[in-house]
Amino acid sequence: MSSHGTPIPMTSRKSGPLKGTAAVPGDKSISHRALIFGAMAVGETRITGLLEGEDVLDTAKAMQALGAEVTREGAGEWTVHGVGVGGFSEPEDVIDCGNSGTGVRLIMGCVATYDFCTTFTGDGSLRKRPMARVTDPLALFGTRSVGRSGGRLPLTLIGAAEPVPVEYQTPMPSAQVKSAVLLAGLNAPGKTVVIEKEATRDHTERMLRGFGAEVVTEKTPEGYNKITLTGRPELKPQEVAVPRDPSSAAFPVCAALIVEGSDILVPGVSQNTTRNGLYTTLVEMGADIAFENTREEGGEPVADLRVKYSKLKGIEVPPERAASMIDEYPILSAIAAYAEGKTVMRGVKELRVKESDRIDAMARGLEACGVTIEEDEDTLIVHGLGPDGVEGGGTCATHLDHRIAMSFLILGMASKQPVTVDDGGPIATSFPVFEKLMTGLGAHVTRNN
Ligand SMILES: O=C(O)C1=C[C@@H](OP(=O)(O)O)[C@@H](O)[C@H](O)C1
Ligand SMILES: C=C(OP(=O)(O)O)C(=O)O
């Protein structure tokens, strides 16, 4: 279900060998940022390959509400006439970010250092997610906020009239929190500093440099990342070619690994070390993946992945890898059911505050499909049943979470009984062509009404 629609139950069942090319859509993180930075540049930014998923479309609307001109020119082709740093105007209505944590948290950063008021809301999932992790550091700039208990949406930000620059160490590994602080720092004088203990995706830093801001990343003596941004730059419009999304690529890649006889090509998968933890993990599990034609696309290192059906073995995923594959744990836990032995995922408590509590959602759905799991606050362990051992047959609750929906639909492509999800609608937030793309490879996935 999208923010306001009716649920769309979907079912997948044992599929023939998957063959062909899986060209997944544009990267969600980079798409949000291309629109936001375009809106803050002076002049016309051109974007190609933009992900036209609901999350990103909500960010496009928000940029319009703040005064930028955002136009769709063709499939994935967009232009943004930016207003320059300091140029946003007070939105006339509530900003609805739908299902998107990235959208709402980055846009909170954008408006935090403007002398005006912005009210945010979102769908039933987003209204449950914690926002104090962003409003706390924004308060250091002088921004005030009033939200529901626990800092939940709907929430109003009263921007700082005379912002001061900030130095902040993020208490959890979060690119959204880091980015919110850096974005607020754009309209503050002087240098804003963010320190992160564990490296998280670095698209904000890379792209802001591309738009002409001064952003310096150094290592502290303890080995932490220290990012220093010089405020009030003039951002120059760019041509942004959005690379494909490695988090979406994970679904056809993992499907090919568990569906017998599969052999697919997944072009342009990011090798950015802040994003590619899943691929390292899959290789350790014994996946037959060839990384071909390594090159640069849209400022990101990418490779074409040739993926073949593989006998997987369970492993212990190093906790320090978590940030680089945080959105991929649901699909990893699904295919871990097909491995020999157990797959241990520790240091993953951030999964509990995503679109759903992803540890709980995966645990309950896997159990409904005959898989034994163990969990605690920060851990998920899946006991693999081997390539032919997964029963399936469950109906899995997706809790308005696209990655949970897609993970269970992939699970059902190799299980003995079909797997149903109660609502595949949220898939449109990040991967609107999922069903078409998977069907095109030979997978059996259908809507039930
Ligand atoms: O900055 C981003 O684009 C994102 C950061 C991550 O969230 P956290 O910052 O909450 O870890 C990730 O889960 C999300 O899908 C996208
Ligand atoms: C966590 C995710 O997104 P967001 O936080 O932007 O809602 C995701 O896409 O898996």
Quick one: how many helices (H) and strands (E) in the chain?
12, 24
Query: Is the bond preceding 267 in cis, omega lying within 30 degrees of 0?
Result: no
Q: Residue 29 CA: which ligand 1 atom is closest?
A: 3
- Nearest Cα residue to atom 10 of ligand 2: 327
Q: Percent of the chain scored above 90 by pLDDT? A: 97
In Å, how far are 162, 186, 375 from 228, measured between CA atoms? 20, 11, 38
Say what the pLDDT of residue 268 is.
94
Q: Residue 100 CA: which ligand 2 atom is closest?
A: 7
Residue 3 has pLDDT above 60, yes or no: no
21's CB contacts (< 8 A; 6+ apart) are 264, 265, 266, 267
- Give the DSSP H or E segment for 157: strand 152-158
Pair 352, 378: CB distance under 8 Å: no
What is the C-alpha separation between 66 and 88, in angstroms, rounded? 5
Mean pLDDT across the stretch 413-442? 98
In Å, how far are 88, 116, 282 from 407, measured between CA atoms? 39, 41, 15
pLDDT tens column, 155-195: 999 999 999 999 999 999 999 999 999 999 999 999 999 99
Active-site pick, 96, 245, 327, 401: 327
- Give the DSSP H or E segment for 210: helix 203-210
Nearest CA to 158 out of 120, 114, 192, 188 is that of 114
Residue bearing tokens 């240091």: 347
Ligand 2 contact via 129 beta carbon (within 6 Å)? no
What is the C-alpha separation between 312 and 259, in angstroms, rounded? 12
User: Would you list which residues are annotated within the binding site?
Assistant: 28-29, 33, 101, 129, 174, 176, 327, 354, 358, 403
Q: Residue 204 CA: which ligand 1 atom is closest?
A: 1
Evaluate the CA torsion angle 235, 236, 237, 240 in order and state its sign.
negative
> In which band, very low, low, confident or very high, does the pLDDT at 449 lie, cut at 50, 70 and 90?
confident
Ligand 2 contact via 327 beta carbon (within 6 Å)? yes
Domains of the chain, earliest start first: 10-26+243-447 (3.65.10.10), 28-241 (3.65.10.10)
Residue of 28, 29, 102 to mutate, ligand 1, most atoms within 8 A of C-beta: 102
- Return the half-sphere exposure (C-beta side, CA atoms, 13 A cut-off) of residue 90: 12
Q: Which residues line ligand 1 (CB under 6 A)?
A: 29, 101-102, 174-176, 179, 201, 326-327, 350
Which of the ligands is closest to the CA of residue 204?
1
> In which band, very low, low, confident or very high, does the pLDDT at 1 lie, cut at 50, 70 and 90?
very low
In the chain, what is the greatest distance between 2 CA atoms, to the nearest angstrom? 63
> What is the pTM assigned to this prediction?
0.98
Helical H segments across 10-145, by residue range: 28-40, 54-65, 101-111, 132-139
Mean pLDDT across the stretch 23-45? 98
- Who has greater pLDDT, 4 or 98? 98
Within 10 angstroms of residue 372's Cβ, the number of other Cβ atoms is 13
Which of the ligands is closest to the CA of residue 349?
1
Ligand 2 contact via 33 beta carbon (within 6 Å)? no
- How many whole angstroms from 323 Cα to the centroid of ligand 2? 13
- Nearest Cα residue to atom 8 of ligand 1: 174
Say what the pLDDT of residue 10 is.
98
pLDDT tens column, 311-330: 999 999 999 999 999 999 99
Residue 236 is classified by DSSP as P
- How many whole angstroms from 88 Cα to the centroid of ligand 1? 24
Terminal CA-to-CA distance of the chain, rounded, Å? 13
Residue of 102, 105, 133, 358 to mutate, ligand 2, most atoms within 8 A of C-beta: 102
Say what the pLDDT of residue 297 is.
87
Residue 353 has pLDDT above 70, yes or no: yes
**DSSP codes, 347-386:** S-GGGGGSSS-HHHHHHHHHHHTT--EEEETTEEEEEEE-
74's CB contacts (< 8 A; 6+ apart) are none
- How many whole angstroms from 176 Cα to the centroid of ligand 1? 5
User: Would you list which residues are annotated within the binding site for 3-phosphoshikimate?
Assistant: 28-29, 33, 174, 176, 327, 354
In Å, how far are 42, 50, 98, 107, 360 from 61, measured between CA atoms? 19, 14, 11, 11, 33
Say what the pLDDT of residue 4 is.
52
153's CB contacts (< 8 A; 6+ apart) are 104, 120, 121, 122, 126, 127, 129, 131, 147
Residue 298 is classified by DSSP as T
pLDDT tens column, 109-121: 999 999 999 999 9
What is the C-alpha separation between 353 and 370, in angstroms, rounded? 26
SS3 303: strand
What is the residue-averaged pLDDT of the chain?
97
- Nearest Cα residue to atom 4 of ligand 2: 101
User: Would you list which residues are annotated within the binding site for phosphoenolpyruvate?
Assistant: 28, 101, 129, 176, 358, 403
Mean pLDDT across the stretch 22-48? 98
What is the C-alpha separation between 412 and 408, in angstroms, rounded? 6
Say what the pLDDT of residue 247 is.
98
Mean pLDDT across the stretch 79-87? 98
Mean pLDDT across the stretch 221-248? 97
Pair 202, 217: CB distance under 8 Å: yes
Pair 407, 427: CB distance under 8 Å: no
SS3 content of the chain, % helix, strand, coil (to 5): 35, 30, 40
Q: Percent of the chain scored above 70 by pLDDT? A: 99
SS3 331: helix
Say what the pLDDT of residue 2 is.
47
What is the C-alpha separation between 369 and 349, in angstroms, rounded? 23
327 a catalytic residue: yes
Within 10 angstroms of residue 158's Cβ, the number of other Cβ atoms is 17
Sort 438 into a burial class: Cβ within 10 Å, 0-12 / 13-18 / 19+. buried
pLDDT tens column, 251-307: 999 999 999 999 999 999 989 999 999 999 999 999 999 999 999 988 889 999 999
pLDDT tens column, 330-347: 999 999 999 999 999 999
Residue of 2, 31, 36, 100 to mutate, ligand 2, most atoms within 8 A of C-beta: 100
